[in-house]
Amino acid sequence: MARDLIRILGLWPARRGWLLAGVVAAICSTLAGLALLVLAGRVIAGAVVAGQAGAALLTGIGLAALVWLRPVMLFRPVARYLDRLVTHEATFRALADMRVWFFRRLAERLPAGLGLREAGDLLGRLVADVESLDGLYLRVIVPAASSLAVVVAMALVIGAADPGLAALLALPLVAALLLPLVLAPAAARAGQDAARAQGALRSAVVDPLTGLEDTLAANGEGRAAARVTAAGAALSAAQRALARRSALGGASGALLVQAALLGSLAWALGAGQDGLAAGLMAVFLAIAAAEALGLMPRAGTSLAAASAGARRLFEAADAPAPVAEPARPVAAPAGHAIRLAGVGFAWAPDRPAVFDNLDLDVPEGARIALLGPSGAGKSTLAALLLKFAAPQAGRITLGGVDIADLPAAELRRRVAWLTQDARLFDDSIAANLRLAAPEASEAELWKALDRAQVGDLVRGLPEGLETQCGEGGLRFSGGQARRLALARTLLSPAPVLILDEPAAGLDADTERAFLQTLDEATAGRSVILILHHLTGVERPSRILRLVGGRAIPAAG
Ligand SMILES: Nc1ncnc2c1ncn2[C@@H]1O[C@H](COP(=O)(O)OP(=O)(O)OP(=O)(O)O)[C@@H](O)[C@H]1O
């Protein structure tokens, strides 16, 4: 548990200044509260000892306390305001860093898609588990630092007057301070159950919602609702267990703080005239301490929840990346001829091999038509060429350089892929296109749209290039969205294009028109056309068929 949490803190180096400033602000605010009660205590203790308020005000101590009371009263709300402001700002910044870190780690580990991972569960990790980490700072570190400052200040203030009283007061308060460490391990299991249940609930909701049409068409809403109910019940049970631990911690904390209060009260009553002032002061300090230390035992459950969140994040973030970046990357080659030699590949050790001793040459400027039945491995070949997966045998070279030695980003600048189910993102058409070429001018966007046979459609839209595509491109029909995605790929300056069924979604005439303009759109570039069948207008330089894990020449 401690290792995960220490590692989390290590991931926030850029926010160290903010985090530290938050702790300092919280300590100042708590100590200001303490000082306020100390000063009030002094005035009252002086009055009680002197027998009447007026006389107390005239004693040196009472007068000094009164002088300090006003600035401290003014300082305290300011300190409290700054405390909340800075600690929350520090948390927001640290969590934002954490999300980006986690997202990048996922992107490295899931280049070929989620595979068997559940989208809802990953979303839960990215949102809820990252959020649970705010408890580590806001509900554990900050209160612990403030409480420690309170205990030390109290020991100093009371210790100067009466060390025995200071020990009596400090003992239960130190116990309250340490209680979270005692309670956290027991709460850890409940924290893990709650985090897991939260992930399961998100999956149960996201999965049927993403495919709502299919869920409804199959009358599956009853089953989906039952899954959500079961996942919700599991989450409630886990959260109830966590809440029980939190309540237990809260009650124990209150008990310890009250013990300190009662102890000092008993001392004050039992002390003679000499000890009365110190005893009364201790009562005031115990009241002040209650605010800071009363929260501490609950920090145990926050610690457990943060540790469960951290565990789940690291579980996903530490999975081995399918393709490691080269330890010693080589310079990108000038040429872009592709060669596969003796490539063997299976997606997992227990899955059948997709390729077995595959050889393939794509010379610069060639147009290869790659045919093959469903499941033959056409998309898998594209995944290998973009290093979304790495072959277990053989090598793949680009311009004579093994792609294993090229950084993935360099390779992907040279090879662009229109995937089979290319996705439009929830942004404008222009932004979707510029994913492939961020610097592209408007004229270049229109050129790519025209080449993909979708320029007229976009011209007819009131907002043109600024039209929002909606999530997954829902604003457009399947065929229109595919042509927009094709325009994006054609816009890419990459010298090698892999186009998986580029004419899918086009009617016969438009398909013909598109394939005829392909020459112009891809002039000078190598193109791998993944097709189920040839229409006769593709004019490939070679036709290959993937069969039994190998590429064999096919008749046109
Ligand atoms: N990302 C992936 N993770 C795990 N297995 C995969 C992945 N992509 C493809 N496969 C598996 O690899 C095999 C070949 O699939 P692939 O999609 O490459 O065939 P294809 O020729 O493109 O088929 P289609 O013409 O139907 O698109 C299939 O058994 C498939 O389940």
Structure ipTM: 0.96
Q: Which fold has domain 338-553?
A: Rossmann fold (3.40.50)
Running DSSP on this structure, what letter comes out for residue 129? Answer: I
- pLDDT for the residue numbered 116: 44
* Domain parsing of the chain, residue ranges: 15-317, 338-553
In contact, 143 and 296? CB cutoff 8 Å: yes
Mutate to test the pocket of ligand 1, among 356, 379, 500, 533 (most ligand atoms within 8 A of CB): 379
In contact, 359 and 532? CB cutoff 8 Å: no
Residue 165 CA to ligand 1 center (angstroms) comes to 75
Residue 496 CA to ligand 1 center (angstroms) comes to 21
DSSP sequence for 309-358: HHHHHHHHHTSPPSSPPPSSPPPPPS---EEEEEEEE-SSTTS--SEEEE
CB of 400 shorter than 6 A to ligand 1: no
Can you tell me the distance from the alpha carbon of 287 to that of 321, in angstroms, rounded to the nearest whole number?
Answer: 54
**Ligand 1 atom with least separation from CA of 352:** 29
Residue 530 CA to ligand 1 center (angstroms) comes to 13
In contact, 502 and 486? CB cutoff 8 Å: yes
Can you tell me the distance from the alpha carbon of 420 to that of 163, in angstroms, rounded to the nearest whole number?
Answer: 77
More confident residue, 492 or 112: 492
Residue 374 CA to ligand 1 center (angstroms) comes to 8
The residue ranges of DSSP E strands in 232-316, in sequence order, are: none
CATH 1.20.1560.10 fits 15-317, yes or no: yes
Strands 338-345 and 355-362: antiparallel
Summarize the confidence of residues 372-377 as an average pLDDT: 86
Residue 341 CA to ligand 1 center (angstroms) comes to 21
Q: Which residue in 457, 422, 429 sits closest to 445, CA to CA?
A: 429
Among 165-169, 441-445, 528-532, top mean pLDDT goes to: 441-445
Find where tokens 């303009």 sit. 517
Can you tell me the distance from the alpha carbon of 228 to that of 206, in angstroms, rounded to the nearest whole number?
Answer: 10
pLDDT above 60 for 115: no
- pLDDT for the residue numbered 444: 93
Longest CA–CA separation in the chain, Å: 113
Q: Among the listed ranges 40-44, 52-56, 235-239, which one has the minimum average pLDDT value?
A: 52-56
Q: Which residue in 236, 531, 191 sits closest to 369, CA to CA?
A: 531
Dihedral angle at the C-alpha atoms of 301, 305, 307, 310, nearest 10 degrees?
Answer: -160
Mutate to test the pocket of ligand 1, among 117, 347, 545 (most ligand atoms within 8 A of CB): 347
Q: Whose CA is nearest to atom 25 of ligand 1?
A: 374
Condensed to tens digits (0 to 9), the pLDDT of residues 478-527 reads 888 888 998 999 999 899 999 988 877 677 777 777 777 777 778 789 99
| pTM of the complete model | 0.68
Q: Whose CA is nearest to atom 30 of ligand 1?
A: 375
Dihedral sign from CA coordinates of 437, 438, 444, 447 = positive
**Ligand 1 atom with least separation from CA of 389:** 1
Provide the angle, in degrees to the nearest 10, between the axes of the packed helices 299-317 and 2-10: 70
pLDDT above 80 for 547: yes
Establish whether domains 15-317 and 338-553 are of one fold.
no
